[in-house]
Structures are given as C-alpha cells and as structure tokens.
Amino acid sequence: MRHFDHIDTAHRKHLFYRHPRRFDRHDDPAVLAVALGATLYCPATRPTLAADIEKAYRRGVASMVVCLEDAIADADVAEAEANAVAHLRDLHARSADAPLLFVRIRTPEQIGDLTARLGGAAGLVTGFVLPKFTAAAGGAFLDALEETAGRTGLRLLAMPVIESREAVYAETRTELLRDVAMLLAKHRERVLAVRLGATDMSAAYGLRRPPDLTIYDIRPVAGAICDVVNILGRADGSGFVVTGPVWEYFSAGERMFKPQLRQSPFDAQHAAPLRQRLITSDLDGLIREVHLDKANGLTGKTVIHPSHVAAVHALSVVTHEEYCDAADILGYSGGGAMASSYANKMNEAKPHRAWAERLMLRARVFGVAAEGVTFVELIDAAGTR
C-alpha cells in the first residue's frame, strides 16, 4: 500500500516533491510504526465489518483496529469475537484489499484463541493492541504473543496502550513507566508502537476533553503524556514510536470559542469552502492537536471516524522546507551550525540530527510536499474520494 494512492496520479505529481513509498505488513517495524498514520478504530460488532474495512482502505486508511475491548459491551464479547473472525475470514477468502489490521483484545488468552479460529486469515493480522498496559499485567500479553507467533510462524506485533490510572496519577506513573520501559525492551522486536489512551486517562479525573480544546489543554493528562514521551519516546535508541491520542469528535455542536484555523492560508488557495467544512466538522480542533502532537514527539493518531484521516495524513506529509532543513543537517557529519536553505532559521548539525533522521523516515512513507504546496491543498486532495 502507499499513502495518497487514492489521489489521481497527475494530481499527486503536482502535490509532491518526493512521492510516498510503498510499504506492507512485512516491512521493518520502524517503517510501519511511522506509516500507521491515522489508525481507525472500529467495534468488532459491526455487522458490515468486512465491507467497512474495504471501504476504509479505498478512502486512504492505512491502519485499522478491530476493537474487542472498550468499544463493545461486556456481554457482547463472544458475539464480537465470532463476528470479527467471520468477517476477517471472508476478507481472506476473497483476497480483498485491506489496511494494516490489528485486534484490540481484553485478555492474553484471546491472542492464541483468535489466531487459531482465524486459520489462514490470521495472515491479515499485523498484530494486537494491548489495553491498560502495565508491567505487572503486560508480561502475560507479550508472552502470549511470543508463543502464538512461534507456534504459527506469523510475525505478530504489539501496540501496548498506556491508559491505566497508575500511569496517570503523579505518585505512581514514573515508577510504572520505568517498569514498562524495561519490559518492552525485553520484547523490542515485537513492539511496533506505544499508544496513548487519552479517554481513560481523562476518566481517571472524571474529565472529558471538549472539542474546542486539545488534550494539551487538559493539564493532568498533558502531564502524563509528557512523562510517557520522556520515558518511552526517547531518541537515544531506547525509545519507541508513541502515537497521538484519540480524537473523538466528528460532528459539530455549539461552539464556545472561535475557530482555530487561520483564514489566510485558505484564502491563498481559494479554499474558503474547505475551511468552513473543517470548522463545521470540528476538524479545526483535530488539526491543532495534530500539530501539537508532532511538536511534542508523537507520531500518527488514533481516530474514530474516516473523516479524520485526511487531516492527519495531510499534516504528516513533510513540507519542502522541513525536508531541505533535514537534508542540510544530515549532510554535515562534523557538527557546526548553518543558515537554513530558506534563510529563516539556524540549523545545527548535532542537536538537530535526531529530529532530521525521524523526519526523513516520515518523508519516506508520507512523502515531501512540492515547494509552495501547503497543508490546505493536501487536506483537500486527501479528502477526495
């Protein structure tokens, strides 16, 4: 698969200086972790699950989670498992196109059980999302994943979710995250990315983020995210890709604050109607949060509606200016500082190197925008169906 492949070829040539490269579930996990982009969650109880997965793929979704945990009622687990197995087997039988697929489970035993019930269709599953992850409970999940992968010969990857109350409360989270870091280090080859469960984090304080604010405005949760990045997202080789928390709004209600999208970039592209559509769908808040995710070291995002995907992917494209800066930085091996190619900032070869390396990996899977192409054009194009 390749990001933005649903866009007309001629239009892609206009949009990109360097085009996104193809990837598949067998690629290096370091590539796949960045390629996840907007990961769409879908309840396993959906009666049209197979069709939903195919439709999502056609709309540019590159990663999807079939959820057996919080998205469904406790009483519906058995039915949801049977539904997920049936629909994934149907996709496999028809050799249907699908994004990278993950299953969010409740218990370690579900990993082996579901894999066995899927049979050959287990080859569609890239891995499992491990909820409420702690060092105490997480070992059983990772051991079950290792056992199942060894028995079946499948490469199954893990995405643990940091969302427990112990991971949020200030007096317990540092020790918990250090223990999680040590556990994940032992299973590094199986860990694709670390996800953040902002809904559960907020619930620890009886909070819910409104659409007018970003998760970074919810200070107790923002503090927890900061510590997750500090301990699990370091750029020294010990860290993992940490993904952005869920954006859970997809329709407009009454607004309390002014829209968060400046008008001038849209006016320059004669795209005022697009700006209004984004505001009406509350996507201006999502766009702002994705910018803050990136600035705080997070990659990709959890989403719950297909309308979110275009915004996340458009903002994941590396700008031409960023690419020029990164190329200049990586071109200097002995350190030193230099003016940027755009003559608007200073680039330092040593301090900015880790940033440049990460950016080049994102450029590989999301491409580099052509000079002068803005996120406005990319969002408009990515939203084309």
Each domain of the chain, given as residue ranges in start order, spans 25-267+274-317
Question: pLDDT in tens for each of the 385 residues of the chain?
Answer: 999 998 999 999 999 999 999 999 999 999 999 999 999 999 999 999 999 999 999 999 999 999 999 999 999 999 999 999 999 999 999 999 999 999 999 999 999 999 999 999 999 999 999 999 999 999 999 999 999 999 999 999 999 999 999 999 999 999 999 999 999 999 999 999 999 999 999 999 999 988 889 999 999 999 999 999 999 999 999 999 999 999 988 765 544 444 555 565 655 554 555 555 554 455 788 999 999 999 999 999 999 999 899 999 999 999 999 999 999 999 987 778 888 888 899 999 899 999 999 999 999 999 999 999 988 899 888 875 4
DSSP assignment string, 137-173: HHHHHHHHHHHHHHHH----EEEEEE-SHHHHSHHHH
Both tokens assigned to 348: 């330092």
Q: How far apart are CA 249 and CA 255, in angstroms?
A: 13
Please check whether the domain covering 25-267+274-317 is classified as CATH 3.20.20.60: yes
Taking every pair of Cα atoms in the chain, the longest distance, rounded to a whole number of angstroms, is 61
Both tokens assigned to 217: 């405005």
What does pTM read for this prediction? 0.91
